[in-house]
Amino acid sequence: MIETITKHIPLISNCKEIIQITKGFSLDEKFLLHMHDENKTLLLRLFDLEDVESKKNEYSILERMKDYNVTCSEPISFGVLENRGYMITSYIEGKDAEEVISIYSNLEQYNIGVEAAKELKKMHQYPASHTIASWYSRKVEKHNNYMKAYLGCGIKVKNDQKIIDFIEKNIHLMKKRPSVFQHDDYTLGNIIVNNKEFAGVIDFGRYDWGDPIHDFLKIGIFSRGKSIPFSIGQIKGYFNNNEPDEYFWRLYSLYLAMCVFSTVIWTLKTIPDSLNEMLDKVYMFLEDHDYFSEFKPKWYI
């Protein structure tokens, strides 16, 4: 199939080397294409025909990101060939930050976080369409569905009633939040670094629309476990090196609390063998916030 595609798309017909990428949870088949022209490297994704519409939307998102000068992969070509869809983008040279950031100095890690924050802020300039339902209504509906599934799944998180009470007390805070573009998977694994510096953002496939503060959620679940300096840099950098107010921390904590139950259900459905590993992450951020007796996490203080 890959040979058929490279043969029938003039843009990549002079490819000199093809390397498959197997890392990540995506069901797409991913290939690095080393071209003869100027030693250029492109990224090719192959996907099922049933995913064509969602991938077309992702491709259009990359086009819009150019309008906001976001440092990310540039969209180059999109189409369908035989029984597969394909997307070709530019390739950002470097390594994902999750893989290498631990060997950098604290200052280097912090600075990468600051640069990541600047890119996130650019993305959040893209407003949601008026045709999309409010963030509050969509998020509450999702949460209620996750809660129903959690209560019937047989897994019980310690002190879950305390977490539920915290959510119920604070859920009203989402009512008037803005609705903007969300990357929705803004983790170290989707940030590329090169020569100890921020190089770009990848993987926009899980994008959503809603509260920009929700895009900080993955810090508490994933990034803080890999690099606290990066995590602090991403938060402070977003606020121009100022301290965020209590309103930010209260919403941040609310989204983490809601994530306790969605994480359990998502993991059971998607990667059930990793349940214990994911529960470890849940208990880590629950301890960070003393089961939400504190809004600001211990690692930040």
Residue 301 falls inside a structural domain? no
Identify the pLDDT of residue 37. Answer: 73
177 or 19, greater pLDDT = 177
Q: Are residues 129 and 28 in the same domain?
A: no
**For residue range 239-281, what is the model confidence (pLDDT) as tens digits?**
999 999 999 999 999 999 999 999 999 999 999 999 999 999 9
Cα–Cα nearest to 100, from 197, 25, 184: 197
Residue 300 falls inside a structural domain? no
Identify the pLDDT of residue 6. Answer: 73
**For residue range 136-160, what is the model confidence (pLDDT) as tens digits?**
999 999 999 999 999 999 999 999 9
Identify the pLDDT of residue 24. Answer: 64
The residue to which tokens 């994008």 are assigned: 207
Q: What would the mean pLDDT of 119-127 be, rounded to a whole number? A: 98
CATH classification of the domain holding 269: 3.90.1200.10
CA distance 264 to 262: 5
Q: Are residues 108 and 206 in the same domain?
A: yes
Are the C-beta atoms of 211 and 120 separated by less than 8 Å?
Answer: no
Domain boundary among 45, 62, 90: 90
Count other Cβ atoms within 10 Å, centred on residue 161: 8
Domain boundary among 35, 57, 90: 90
Cβ-proximal residues to 85 (8 Å cutoff; 6+ apart), any chain: 46, 47, 48, 49, 51, 52, 55, 78, 79
Q: Residue 241 to residues 101, 142, 231, 289, 300: CA-CA distances in angstroms?
A: 21, 33, 13, 23, 14
Band (pLDDT 50/70/90 cuts) for residue 8 is confident
Identify the pLDDT of residue 25. Answer: 61
10 Å CB burial of residue 282 (0-12, 13-18, 19+) is buried
CA distance 22 to 139: 32
Q: What would the mean pLDDT of 52-58 be, rounded to a whole number? A: 96
What is the span of the domain harbouring residue 101? 95-288
Rounded to 10 deg, the angle between the 106-123 and 228-238 helix axes is 40
Identify the pLDDT of residue 196. Answer: 96
Identify the pLDDT of residue 301. Answer: 80
Q: Are residues 201 and 253 in the same domain?
A: yes
CATH classification of the domain holding 42: 3.30.200.20
**For residue range 13-42, what is the model confidence (pLDDT) as tens digits?**
778 888 888 876 667 889 999 888 767 899
Q: What would the mean pLDDT of 47-75 be, rounded to a whole number? A: 96
Identify the pLDDT of residue 38. Answer: 66
Q: What would the mean pLDDT of 288-298 be, rounded to a whole number? A: 97
Band (pLDDT 50/70/90 cuts) for residue 92 is very high
**Tokens coding 199:** 């190089």
Domain boundary among 40, 59, 90: 90
pLDDT at 90 over 70: yes
* CA-CA-CA-CA dihedral for 254, 144, 207, 259, to nearest 10: 40
- Note the pTM of the prediction, 2 decimals: 0.92
Considering its fold, how many domains does the chain have in total? 2
